[in-house]
């Protein structure tokens, strides 16, 4: 049981309720690794970081269905993701240049949201690197 947390311990360490842990477990975002002799689900200590990541993504408007899909997908090639983002930014620049005034406002809002998500991704990446 070394390094494993019961649901209440995990919830307290992550600053969420046990219902949130149950909900994330039901969605497949968290997995108990085993059960205690008393039948309690036991989670790895790393689940605290997973919950923090989920909450940070949710705060930036990413839906739980998309988060679950990302968690279940094979690890992305970072270079490929950066290349796709660069291509998307080029497309956004072209759209802004061709758009009328009202569309430019909408595109500016969307661009700000994208910027927020990119900063969140950088924060997540650097915090994971610093923790290693």
How does pLDDT run across 35-82, given as a tens digit for each residue?
Answer: 989 999 999 999 999 999 899 888 878 888 888 887 777 766 667 777
Residue 101 pLDDT > 80, yes or no?
A: no
Greater confidence, 94 or 21?
Answer: 21
Greater confidence, 97 or 9?
Answer: 9
How confident is the model over 23-40, as a mean pLDDT? 92
What is the Cα–Cα distance from 125 to 107, expressed in whole angstroms? Answer: 27
Its pTM stands at 0.66
What is the Cα–Cα distance from 88 to 58, expressed in whole angstroms? Answer: 22
Tokens found for residue 1: 């049981």
Closest listed residue to residue 13, CA positions, set 68, 62, 50: 50
pLDDT range class, residue 131, cuts 50, 70, 90: very low
């Amino acid at each position: 049981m070394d390094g494993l947390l019961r649901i209440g311990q995990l919830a307290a360490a992550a600053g969420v309720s046990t219902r949130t842990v149950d909900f994330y477990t039901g969605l497949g975002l968290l997995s108990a690794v085993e059960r205690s002799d008393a039948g309690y689900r036991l989670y790895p200590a790393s689940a605290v970081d997973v919950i923090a990541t989920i909450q940070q993504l949710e705060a930036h408007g990413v839906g739980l269905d998309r988060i679950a899909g990302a968690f279940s997908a094979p690890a992305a090639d970072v270079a490929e993701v950066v290349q796709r983002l660069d291509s998307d930014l080029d497309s956004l620049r072209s759209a802004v240049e061709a758009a009328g005034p009202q569309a430019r406002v909408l595109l500016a809002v969307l661009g700000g949201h994208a910027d927020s998500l990119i900063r969140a991704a950088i924060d997540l990446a650097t915090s994971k690197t610093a923790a290693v």
